[in-house]
A and B are shown apart, each in its own frame.
Chain A
Amino acid sequence: MPETDTQKRAFGRIYGLMAEFSTAEQLLEAARRTHDAGYLRIDAFSPFPIEGLAEAVGFRSTMLPLVVLVGGIIGCGTGYFLQYYAAAVSYPINVGGRPLNSWPAFIPITFELTVLFAAVSAVIGMLLMNGLPTPYHPVFNVPRFALASRDRFFLCIKARDRKFDLAQTRSFLESLHPREVSEIEV
């Protein structure tokens, strides 16, 4: 018995619809129009970063720089207090009356740990915010999606979107002149 569109959505059988484009400009234009048409849960896939595409799919800004700043500050504090604690508190040695908290000598390691912590937070922050590693993702069920890492550009409207309706959304995507529109199975 053939299922209706609503059933398909209700049973969570499809993740969304995927439209394929040949150029970055087409994808950018399509993403803008889709967003303007009121679809909010959309995503675009490209073989290389495209300026303005993230904004076109409704992305505002990333917290990543803040994460890196906080990481750097933590690294800086860790570096300095590690040395301060070791040299002035835990094992103070009086060398000719020189100050125990000899801060100029502590700068190099403080700097190195600042960079280390900031860099590690940049990488871990980027991966976690992007939800990577992702062992399984429905978009890969579209066979042609393998070309997203080569020379094709894809726009996806997710079934979770409030405006999503299989037939209507499909005809909307067709109106954007893609090469092909396909269903993404969950």
Chain B
Amino acid sequence: MTNGSSAPPDVTQPGPIIGPGYNYATVTDKISAIVLTSRPPKWWIFGFAGAFVLVMLLLVSVTYLFAEGIGIWGVNIPIGWGFAIVNFVWWIGIGHAGTLISAILLLLRQQWRTSINRFAEAMTLFAVSCAGLYPILHLGRPWLAYWLFPYPDTMKMWPQFRSPLIWDCFAVSTYATVSLLFWYVGLVPDLATLRDRARNRAAKIIYGILSMGWRGSAVHWYRHETASLLLAGLATPLVVSVHTIVSFDFAYGLVPGWHSTIFPPYFVAGAIYQGFAMVLTLAIPVRKLFHLEDFITARHLDNMGKVMLATGLIVAYGYMTETFMAWYSVDTFERYMMWNRMFGPYGPVYAVLILCNILIPQLLWSRKIRLHVAALFSIAMAVNIGMWLERFVIVVVSLHRDFMPSAWGMYYPTRWDYFTFFGSIGLFLSLLFLFLRFLPLISIFEMRELVSPQASTRSEGEA
């Protein structure tokens, strides 16, 4: 069992992407055993129970919200977009790393992605599910959410197709659908493995239905690979478009702090940054608890640390450009917005954000820290928090003081704001726990490819 903190002496040589001594049979058995055990580990039961309690909290909050209306939250004029939109952008951003790992790194033939892609894709799906809740909860009349979709209705009305909010609706629903399809296509061969290996009759039937009778025929594999590559090619521009469109929700508005052309690239980089932080936040405990250190190796943590560092620097550049442009514009409102962001009533939030998103992640320059599991986990946690604060700064701090001092105000989140947020974290974790229990968290067939002698000679040049 390799430990993450023990760095290989030769720093120029990347570590292995899989522990030594594995073959087709052992990778299959090791990953499928996690799912096919009849008794889940104790930590799973406690973890799932805890997450489920939070789901109940979400249900209570949502029920009360639907009964009372969004007045139970701290939102009011001028801050109409509070936690709901902060959380929406945060969750959707988390999803992006999953697509990056599964699609973009597939196209770039980065073999180290193999052991984390299934898991990261699942994270994408669950994060998008949480994100999708918020715009609906935030509607004053959530039962009319379907008005967002174009359908021939008796009022002879159409959605406003020139509005970024409608684009968002299309972007997020497309993203959720394509992510689900991509994930399922990758799962089919592994579900077949579970079907063949399950001893429990019910499991055999359920996995049998889900695997659709997959039998690993050469021709089927050929089409499967073609479809996966095509889906990766489609998902790559899609993921960029989704956060671009999310940023349009802001950039289209005239509010100082929103109305900026840097938003699309800066949002996309931020999303990948935070998504990788979340992958690390989840992968580090999972590899430990399931003893998967041979599959999610130090090399993976190291690489993810590097991606975080690179995207973090893009985000830092975005902050700098925003600040510079505010000064360079000689626009009273832009300059005031930036001054207020740094030294206004929410100034400390901005300070913590800079600390979490820019200063702390600079530690990742050190290889020693990238390979130190606890340090890496703490940095990832800091980035998770920092990116949430970033969205808070963008949404709330920009809104609270715009043009007219007479229209200024403050936003104080209520307990229901927090309950809904924690509830959505519970929903995310519950789905994740169920995923870990019932589906293979690492793509088994791709791991087999990785251990095949054919692949190891091929991978030398590509890795």
Contacts and interface: CB of A to CB of B under 8 A. Distances in A.
A45 interface: yes
A148 B216 contact: yes
A22 to B, nearest CB: 10
Given A105-B162, A119-B231, A137 B213 contact: yes
Interface stretch (B126-134, B177-185, B395-403): B177-185
Interface stretch (A6-14, A122-130, A166-174, A175-183): A122-130
Nearest to B226: A64
Give the dominant DSSP class at B's interface: helix
Contact of A43 (B177, B189, B192, B219): B219
A62 interface: yes
B212 to A, nearest CB: 4
Interface in B167-209: 167, 170-171, 174, 177-178, 181-182, 184-185, 188-189, 192-193, 195-197, 209
Give the dominant DSSP class at A's interface: helix
B331 interface: no
A56 interface: yes
A49 B25 contact: no
Interface in A120-157: 120, 122-123, 125-127, 129-130, 132-137, 139-140, 145-151
Contacts of B214: 132, 149
Interface string B229-240: 011001101100
Contact of B221 (A54, A105, A123): A54
Contacts of B167: 108-109, 112
Contact of A87 (B25, B161, B189, B454): B161
Contacts of B221: 46, 48-50, 53-54
B449 A90 contact: no
Indicate the member of A113, A119, A140 with the most B CB atoms within 10 Å: A119
Contact of A54 (B182, B193, B222, B238): B222
B220 interface: yes
B156 A150 contact: no
Contacts of A137: 213, 215
B171 A87 contact: no
A109 B449 CA distance: 38
B218 interface: yes
A137 B213 CA distance: 8
Contacts of A139: 215
A112 B445 CA distance: 31
B241 interface: yes
Nearest to B244: A108
A133 B185 contact: no
Interface string A106-120: 101101110110111
Contact of B170 (A43, A113, A149): A113
Contact of A59 (B158, B222, B245): B222
A53 B218 contact: yes
Interface residues of A, number: 63
A134 B150 contact: no
A112 B171 contact: yes
Contacts of A186: none
Contacts of B209: 133
A148 B215 contact: yes
Contacts of B195: 149
B157 interface: yes
B162 A126 contact: no
Contacts of B161: 82-83, 86-87, 105-106, 109
Contact of A50 (B177, B185, B218): B218
A47 interface: yes
Given A119-B181, A123-B181, A150-B25, A62 B218 contact: no
A136 B209 CA distance: 11
Indicate the member of B156, B216, B234, B449 with the most A CB atoms within 10 Å: B216
A134 to B, nearest CB: 3
Nearest to A109: B170
A121 B225 CA distance: 15
A19 interface: no
Nearest to A90: B158
A68 interface: yes
A31 interface: yes
Contacts of B145: none
B162 A24 contact: no
Contact of B234 (A25, A51, A119): A119
Indicate the member of A90, A145, A146, A149 with the most B CB atoms within 10 Å: A149
17 contacts: A45-B215, A49-B445, A64-B226, A65-B226, A82-B161, A109-B167, A112-B171, A126-B185, A126-B227, A130-B220, A133-B209, A133-B212, A139-B215, A149-B189, A149-B214, A150-B25, A151-B24
Interface of A: 23-25, 31, 43-51, 53-54, 56-57, 59, 62, 64-65, 68, 82-83, 86-87, 90-91, 102, 105-106, 108-109, 111-113, 115-116, 118-120, 122-123, 125-127, 129-130, 132-137, 139-140, 145-151
Given A102-B162, A126-B226, 7 more contacts: A47-B28, A132-B188, A133-B212, A147-B196, A149-B189, A150-B24, A150-B196
9 tightest Cβ-Cβ pairs between the two chains A and B: A134-B213, A151-B24, A133-B212, A86-B158, A126-B227, A54-B222, A49-B221, A105-B162, A146-B196
